[in-house]
Chains A and B, each alone.
Chain A
């Protein structure tokens, strides 16, 4: 099945849309787990999104991105300090490097997978929203990957980059691109859950799960996108 089917399903499913315009802010909590070598590392990210403004809190660290000011703050809650940096425009991809015999065959193997995408037909509810599961199998010379992802219809009127928050937690760039493309072609589908299994060329199997736990269109509390009043600027 091609990615176009995702859009078809989203339309055909006729998912109910809220009747009134929701607030423009969005609160979401995303949990990701990295399963590798008999241990599980869990990261919970508490995020707020508003027009041109975003925050992400992981443990004692908050990152605030202010597109309107062109800056990003990283706040260390424990130390009561913050750093500030300019948001640089994305740099263009570097030109292909000329082969250097000193490093041929030495680079970390980051495969570009050939993907096969299909609709599993399975449905579930994530963060209160009905979702449907898609399966993708990736093959490369020395690696394989399987990706299950769950997509839902967005909340009407909300255009915040929910997918960035979820897809960016995936491990493999090719897998990330595949999910981005599969959903972007449909214009608006949100990815609320991912299970990525990487059979790396050398390393043991890695399993990465990402799941949206909370998804609320609601006004952010005052100060959400501001520096805490008592935070001190740290030397970089």
Chain B
């Protein structure tokens, strides 16, 4: 029955398509138009790369060879071009993307309606093997429907153009595999006041260098960037410095590829194939100037954000690469031979020993050093106070676990456009010293807490009750208890917050109460 309803919606071309039904026996799989439309964005990415790849980065080929796995919020998984689709994937007859077959896996599909529009994010991932048993690397894309009230950055807006650039970004990571022989680990580092100050000034220097029309003057601003970077790195180990430069290289050149593709489009070097009739959310990059401006705005914006140093590698690395291209054309082979981008800049713009203190003086005088330092100190002090407050809380621990929903916990609270509770990022944690603000996600609701709380490991909220002895019971629960111990339409009331979920499991171990949310909508 549900299958029939689903097909009826598809045939009517409704915008709101109920999810593909749960496992539907031997029915041949079909895809709703809203899903097929998403796949067409990948096809348009290939069209763009056919026109632009070699201009984006000399010698970039092989982008059509990468399999893509798209995972929708309802659990639907669509695999494009995998040489040997893993067990459970079924061929979608008559549909090819980039002249490659499409398979679909429906075993975990829930009734969550896929309405779109979708924003996309992803990365490279090993997934399955070839028939001969060789591991297959794929581009793993998660498609998410932003909720009303979310405050998204421009690049996260669910436009088809943004998705095409996201796919291009990930495909560039695929290309990097051909020349990054000894990958360095990701930077995992929290800022202190010195780091935050000089990191911000680095960004201002890059911004000034990029805006400088005179090449020699731009080179001087790049030297300022390099000196600010050296000052910033005094608290880092050699390994951490390498990790940071590596992040700039890996993410920065992938962002650089996006900007270079936009420049090719702006210069008229791309003929779109996808039309607005195929995809009403696609405007064939008519807003290319605004998209290029967004990258410059993003550099300014991230430079001033102290909470998450790693996030800066996308823009800093991108602008380092753009400056290389402008000042030292033909720089790419050096990177392909193993040099970091900042090292290429440093070797081309050698700074004499007696020049360095003068540049540092310029950074303190000609840049808003004092203002930036005061702002950084205020943020870092507040963050550290929040951590000191949270880490000492002991008692009964409540964990709300969203892993099975695939929804990151902190995203639900920090993206809201409404006035935000103060929060601070520390590693993978987000600290809420004056209480967690709560959220609603489909049929899941978590109320606000009045006590400090934190989110950690992407999917988890942790709240500690420091007075458990004063409570009659750790929690109460209403709903329909199932034979397997799970609850349907459950409401769990704790002394610190209330959780409502369409499907839930409660695990109690010692002084821990773990509330595992198993579904976002009823009927799963």
A101 to B194 Cα, complex, angstroms = 13
- Is the CB of B329 closer than 8 A to any CB of chain A? no
Of the candidates A37, A103, A201, which one forms a contact with B457 in the assembled complex, judged by CB atoms under 8 Å apart? A201
| Residues of chain A within 8 A of B514, CB atoms compared | 139, 141
**CA separation between A199 and B401, bound complex, in Å?**
12
Among residues 79 to 110 in chain A, which have CB atoms less than 8 Å away from a CB atom of chain B? 101-107, 109
Contact B125 A37 (CB under 8 A): yes
For residue A112, CB closer than 8 A to chain B, the reply is: no
Number of A residues, CB within 8 Å of B? 20
Q: Does A38 contact B (CB under 8 A)?
A: yes
Q: Does A114 contact B (CB under 8 A)?
A: yes
Please name the residue on chain A nearest to B235 by beta carbon: A102
B468 nearest CB across to chain A (Å): 16
**A106:B189 contact, CB within 8 angstroms:** yes
Q: What separation, in Å, do the CA atoms of A50 and B240 have in the docked complex? A: 45
Q: Which residues of chain B from 91 to 130 have a CB within 8 Å of any chain A CB?
A: 125-129
- Cβ of A201 and Cβ of B190 under 8 Å apart? no
CA distance A141 to B400 in the complex (A): 10
Task: Tell whether, in the assembled complex, residue A142 and residue B190 are in contact, meaning their CB atoms are under 8 Å apart.
Answer: no
Q: Is the CB–CB distance between B188 and A106 below 8 Å?
A: yes
A116→B508 CA distance, assembly (Å): 12
Residues of A within 8 Å of B128, CB to CB, are: 37-39
Q: Is B429 an interface residue (CB 8 A)?
A: yes
**How far apart sit A114 and B387, CA to CA, in the bound complex (Å)?**
25
Q: Is the CB of B87 within 8 A of A103?
A: no
Does residue A19 face the partner (Cβ distance < 8 Å to B)?
A: no
Interface 9-mer from B206-214, B346-354, B458-466: B458-466
Q: Does A12 contact B (CB under 8 A)?
A: no
Q: Given the complex of chains A and B, what is the CA–CA distance between A104 and B456 in angstroms?
A: 12
Residue A16 CB within 8 A of the other chain: no
A-chain residues with CB within 8 Å of residue B126 when the two chains form the complex: 37, 39
Given contacts A39-B135, A202-B458, contact A103 B190 (CB under 8 A): yes
> Whose C-beta in chain A lies nearest to the C-beta of B427?
A105
Is residue B426 contacting chain A, with contact meaning CB distance below 8 A? yes
Q: Which residues of chain B are within 8 angstroms of A39 by Cβ–Cβ distance? A: 86, 126-129, 135-136
Chain A interface (Cβ within 8 Å of chain B)? Answer: 37-39, 101-107, 109, 114, 116, 139, 141-142, 144, 199, 201-202
Q: Can you list 27 pairs linking A and B with CB atoms under 8 Å apart? A: A37-B126, A38-B87, A39-B86, A39-B126, A39-B127, A39-B128, A39-B129, A39-B135, A39-B136, A101-B190, A101-B387, A102-B189, A102-B236, A103-B189, A103-B427, A105-B427, A105-B429, A107-B427, A114-B509, A141-B456, A141-B462, A142-B399, A142-B401, A142-B457, A144-B507, A201-B459, A201-B460
Contact residues of B with A, CB < 8 Å?
86-87, 125-129, 135-136, 188-190, 192, 235-236, 384, 387, 397, 399, 401, 403, 426-429, 456-460, 462, 507, 509-510, 512, 514
A-B pairs, 8 with minimum CB distance: A105-B427, A106-B188, A38-B86, A201-B457, A106-B427, A139-B509, A105-B429, A38-B128
